[in-house]
Structure 1
Amino acid sequence: MASDDIAQLVEALSKTHVGDGDLSFKGLGLKLDNAASVEELVRDIEHHQSLRALCLEGNTVGVDAARAIAKALESKDLLQRCYWSDMFTGRLRSEIPTALRSLGGALMIAGARLTELDLSDNAFGPDGVKGIEQLLKSPTCHNLRELKLNNCGMGIGGGKILADALIECHRSSSALGEPLKLRVFIAGRNRLENEGACALAKAFQLMGSLEEVHMPQNGINYTGVMALASAMRHNPELRIINFNDNTFTKKGMLAMVQALKQLRNVEVINFGDCLVRCEGAIALAGVLRDGLPVLKELNLSFGEITEAAALVVAQAAMEKPHMEKVDLNGNCLGEEGCEALREAMENMDKADMLASLSDDEGEPDEDDEEEEEDDDDDNESSDDDDATDNCNELSEEDDETVKENGIITKEESPEKARGPAEVMAFLSCPSVEKLLQLGDMRTTLQQQMDASDPHKGADALLKITSLYSEEPETRAAVFEAMDAVLMKLLSASTLQSYCFLSTLLVKMGLLKGEGKMKKVPLVPGQLLCLEHATQQKYFSQHHASLLHTFTSRNSGALKSCSATRERLRAALEKKCNNDH
């Protein structure tokens, strides 16, 4: 080693930070190629008798240098935290696994018990994961609390290897009476896709100890999101969930909000750039109404959310006592929508809570919406074929049917009672004559409604209300039947009632939905029925607020019923203002 190089290394090492048990060579830019190049560094490690944390970040370590460092680590049984991010810049990808095996092997020889391992920003790919596989399976990682593998290019293969290693670590540690309790998992920008996400979901569900999960920008769509959602439900201490820049769409978002409904400690949700869209946003608003009591930050930016849905989310978020920031930037609000959102926040004295709206995409074009819906259908079909088989090994507790509407329920028994023949005949082909013939059985329509099936509920409601007329007997019968249906559907959880209302809005043409859902030609009598419903006890203030938001901002969809539309809007506004 040249004398100039030695002098440079000595000068760099003089800047080394040595704390109580910590040794840091962070950001020194050292090019460590061989044993000679790390002599001073190794000496520092060897002389640090109570080494608990070693930071090599921001240097570049070759295979021979790694072996020399590893030799020094073989006696460091107190080492707990390894900050080894960004330490292979300029190295051949084939070198990295060998270097990692040397360093990991030394920790195992030492009998160290790691609590934190950071290997972020090392582009080692699946082979790099193989380089730490044995370390992750070993007793050295039984006490691991934080695992950071951000921007490592693991890919699907690396994700599967990592998941298997964590599962094995949990199995072996559990056998010793101290199961692995990983708290922080960071693996953004790794191209995990659905298969990698599904594999890791199994590990997350098994551990049940996560407090933070960061998996942004991994090419995961709704299939992988649904698997992750199922796993999240088994981690009750979750505080931070970051799945930014993946593709939820309606199916993934509804599965995720079903999980959020059960989590009480979540403080930060980042679903930005996840194609949440309107129905997903409304469902999340439903969970905000009932749950997430300590939520502080909500990011739904760049999700193709329109003005009315954004307002519904904002209204629910503003009621959270600990909320500090709501990010709805980059959506499809339009100039007037942005102003309406700002005004709504200001009126609640929450203006500081709203993030910038400088990147708003403007109101969507109707032709573009139709093309997107067709594309979604095609994409989801191909995704199902490619990925469904990789996400079907959950516990018996999660052997559930995820219906197309996104509400997760146990499979219905084939012996479930279908109800009186007259009621079933009416629902299959409604008519005024059949409705009147039902008599007292009209109230049993409630029993045929399933709060977990909003499509069935919305269809039934629209069919019943289409029979409205001013003839007193018919009007009374329609109101009675409608009240029975709505009493069941709106008395369910807020999430289920919001899913029903959003489905109803899609069918009425007031909300853009995903996929192909036939819109129903509306008649004035249907809006008069909704006006009646607003005056009933089962119709709450927040239900009225949701419908008022959409009816006030989608006048074109109700053009054929302009007079009754104004009556409905007035009734909804009265409910919003007077119901306590």
Structure 2
Amino acid sequence: MVTAACPNVISVQLGPNNMASEDICELADSLAKTRVGGGELSFKGKTLKLNTAEDAENVIQEIKEYEGLQALRLEGNTVGVEAAKAIAKALENKSDLKRCHWSDMFTGRLRSEIPPALISLGEALMRAGAQLTELDLSDNAFGPDGVRGFEALLKSLACFTLQELKLNNCGMGIGGGKILATALIECHRKSSLLGKPLALKVFVAGRNRLENDGATALADAFRLIGTLEEVHMPQNGITHPGITALAEAFKSNPLMKVINLNDNTFTDKGGIAMAEALKTLRQVEHINFGDCLVRSKGALAIASALKGGLHKLKELNLSFCEIKRDAALTLAESVEDKSELERLDLNGNNFGEEGCEHIQEILDGFNMASVLGSLSDDEGDDDEEDEADNDEEEEDEEEEEEGEEDDDEEEDNEDDEERGDDEEEDEEKVELSKKIPEPESPPTAAPLPPVDASIFLSFPSPEKLLRMGPKRSTIGAQTDVTDTEKVVQAFIQISSVYRDEQAVKTAVEETVDCLMKKAFGSSVFQADMFVTSLLVRMGLLKSEDKIKPVLHLYGPLLTLNHVVQQDYFQKSLAPVLLAFISKPNVALESQPLARHTLLQTLHKL
């Protein structure tokens, strides 16, 4: 028995022989009264499909009738271009509007539809003379072009009063980050001319693939603004050059309270740069550098910053950062006077059993044992620090090599010109007189062991799948398609290694094709049950059995996008997938681009 996890507490029974229709959970509640007080009008989670002005008639009427509208919530719906224009018309006289909660409101839309919809809404706010304090466009997979959709709004009088800008999970990329930074700088310039410069307090842009160039551009804007209190930029592929730029920008924002850069890549250089910034900040309460590869040198620098300040610190997350025992002990000692500290997360580092115990003893001596988070995922004490540092130095040298190459060539040419013929002959004689032994050839690496289907399925990885070569077809051949759960499990394991790299992507698609051709081609394969079980595994359906859902849906969603387009796939299953992929869901919200791609395909089917 499976129950759909839909809003509005609606239950759906999906057995092996009956499929969900497209209107599952759709408009389950009537609009009725959506006023929630405080000047807020909410359509949040209504799952409304607003394609035309007629579709949006009830929404428009509610907006028109609401006197003193200050906040409008449109999250969890899907708004088309024509509907957006009609809603915008209703907003043109709402001068009191301050907060626009417009996240996740383009589900299933083509990316090309989003910019014109945003332009219409933005122009309406400008005509109304609204003065926004909060703009939330998170979880809308609009990419770089989408930023163009609200660029004019950001530069206008309507955003001179903006305090909170939230753009989480939007797929902006480097290009979008640069456009956004330019718009913020222009907004600050124009507002400064009126004597009230932009005083942005909260900036959220996690999971946007900003990378170094995007982060550096935004750092320029942050440095200029100078009023930030919270910056959330996790999972953006930022390495130490971008981290260093952000650290420098934070120094110009003395009111900073929250810094969340989780799951980027600091390395020692980034950690040291950020520690220097922390020394200048007096109001910081929450620091999240988890999964940032801060390493021991970076951790020691942060410990130094802790000893000299950060007396209001409540939370420090340095989990999974490859920090060794000695550096961790210094960190533990550095929080002795942090009376407001509530949580210290050092899990997933390299302390070893004795190191973990020593850290606990230090904190216990300060009567702070309760603040230490679990150390259950500690990787153990080892001697790999030198190797890790060497690897990092090699990476840094490679990054610097290109920038220094031209200078080195010029210096070499100058040296050659200064050197006379006689000096060159003398040097040649000296070189010939030296008896330098030939360097030994490095030992030949041992060949990697072969990978078969059982090895891959036990511990899947992209490398293993590639090493299998043509033998990848044996994964499907050895899967018992009469057992639906085994097919689902194999699908999940294959799709989990999906990457954007062409070689890996092709390998995944070829492998899953072998599996699913065999399954759909079998007369005993229960396709309905396969879809049901897959949705459960992806966390989109609730089951009576305690099944742990997949943590990351990027691979499964894009692999499924490939599968549904193949001839072997039963197109009658598409409405079921469409019904559940289009519903609001936390797991799906973390992968807006993959979800958007799949929804586009399903709508075409």
On whether the aligned pair clears a TM of 0.5, the verdict is: yes
How many residue pairs are counted as aligned between the two chains? 382
Distance 1:149 1:140, change over 3 A: same
1:177 alignment partner in structure 2: 195
1:413 alignment partner in structure 2: none
**Consecutive unaligned residues in structure 2, runs of 5 or more:** 1-21, 405-605
Does the 8 A contact of 2:26 with 2:47 survive in 1?
no
Of residues 387, 393, 398, the one that matches 1:377 is 393
Of residues 133, 137, 143, the one that matches 1:119 is 137
Q: How far apart, in 2, do the equivalents of 1:321 and 1:89 lie? A: 46
Distance 1:8 1:326, change over 3 A: closer
Task: State whether structure 2 residue 291 is matched by structure 1 residue 273.
Answer: yes
Does the 8 A contact of 1:194 with 1:387 survive in 2?
no
2:164 alignment partner in structure 1: 146
Distance 1:371 1:140, change over 3 A: same
Of residues 302, 314, 322, the one that matches 1:296 is 314
Distance 1:382 1:63, change over 3 A: farther
1:441 alignment partner in structure 2: none
SS of the equivalent of 2:56 reads: helix
**Consecutive unaligned residues in structure 1, runs of 5 or more:** 389-580
2:211 alignment partner in structure 1: 193
SS of the equivalent of 1:23 reads: strand
Does the 8 A contact of 1:147 with 1:185 survive in 2?
yes
Task: State whether structure 2 residue 56 is matched by structure 1 residue 35.
Answer: no
1:239-318 paired onto structure 2 within 5 Å? 239-318=257-336
2:349 alignment partner in structure 1: 331
Task: State whether structure 2 residue 111 is matched by structure 1 residue 93.
Answer: yes
Deviation of 1:17 after TM superposition, in Å, equals 3.7
Deviation of 1:387 after TM superposition, in Å, equals 9.4
1:8-157 paired onto structure 2 within 5 Å? 11-14=29-32, 16-157=34-175
2:231 alignment partner in structure 1: 213
Deviation of 1:370 after TM superposition, in Å, equals 4.4
Q: Deviations over 1:177-230 (max 9, x none)?
A: 110000000001110000001100000000100000111111111101111111
Does the 8 A contact of 1:195 with 1:387 survive in 2?
no
Q: Which amino acid aligns with 1:146?
A: E
Q: How far apart, in 2, do the equivalents of 1:386 and 1:86 lie? A: 42
SS of the equivalent of 1:269 reads: strand
Deviation of 1:347 after TM superposition, in Å, equals 2.7
Does the 8 A contact of 2:27 with 2:47 survive in 1?
no
SS of the equivalent of 1:284 reads: helix
Q: How far apart, in 2, do the equivalents of 1:384 and 1:164 lie? A: 28
Q: Which amino acid aligns with 1:72?
A: A
Does the 8 A contact of 1:45 with 1:72 survive in 2?
yes
Q: How far apart, in 2, do the equivalents of 1:8 and 1:374 lie? A: 57
Q: How far apart, in 1, do the equivalents of 2:142 and 2:299 lie? A: 37
Q: How far apart, in 1, do the equivalents of 2:170 and 2:402 lie? A: 24
Q: Which amino acid aligns with 1:35?
A: A
SS of the equivalent of 1:18 reads: coil
1:417-436 paired onto structure 2 within 5 Å? none
Q: Which amino acid aligns with 1:116?
A: E
Distance 1:166 1:386, change over 3 A: farther
Of residues 350, 354, 357, the one that matches 2:368 is 350
Deviation of 1:9 after TM superposition, in Å, equals 5.0
SS of the equivalent of 1:147 reads: strand
Does the 8 A contact of 1:213 with 1:240 survive in 2?
yes
Q: Deviations over 1:542-576 (max 9, x none)?
A: xxxxxxxxxxxxxxxxxxxxxxxxxxxxxxxxxxx
SS of the equivalent of 1:57 reads: coil
Moved more, 269-278 or 338-347: 338-347
Q: How far apart, in 1, do the equivalents of 2:192 and 2:312 lie? A: 32
Please tell me the root mean square deviation across aligned C-alpha atoms, in Å. 2.0
SS of the equivalent of 1:363 reads: coil
Q: Deviations over 1:275-321 (max 9, x none)?
A: 11111111111111111121111111111011121111011113212
Task: State whether structure 2 residue 185 is matched by structure 1 residue 167.
Answer: yes
- Identity percentage over the alignment? 62
Deviation of 1:26 after TM superposition, in Å, equals 0.7
Q: Which amino acid aligns with 2:154?
A: L
Q: How far apart, in 2, do the equivalents of 1:12 and 1:209 lie? A: 43
Q: Which amino acid aligns with 2:39?
A: G
Q: Deviations over 1:43-66 (max 9, x none)?
A: 000000210000001111111111
Moved more, 335-344 or 80-89: 335-344
Relative to the length of structure 2, the TM-score reads 0.61
Q: Which amino acid aligns with 1:100?
A: L
Distance 1:98 1:382, change over 3 A: farther
Deviation of 1:15 after TM superposition, in Å, equals 5.6
Does the 8 A contact of 1:10 with 1:40 survive in 2?
no
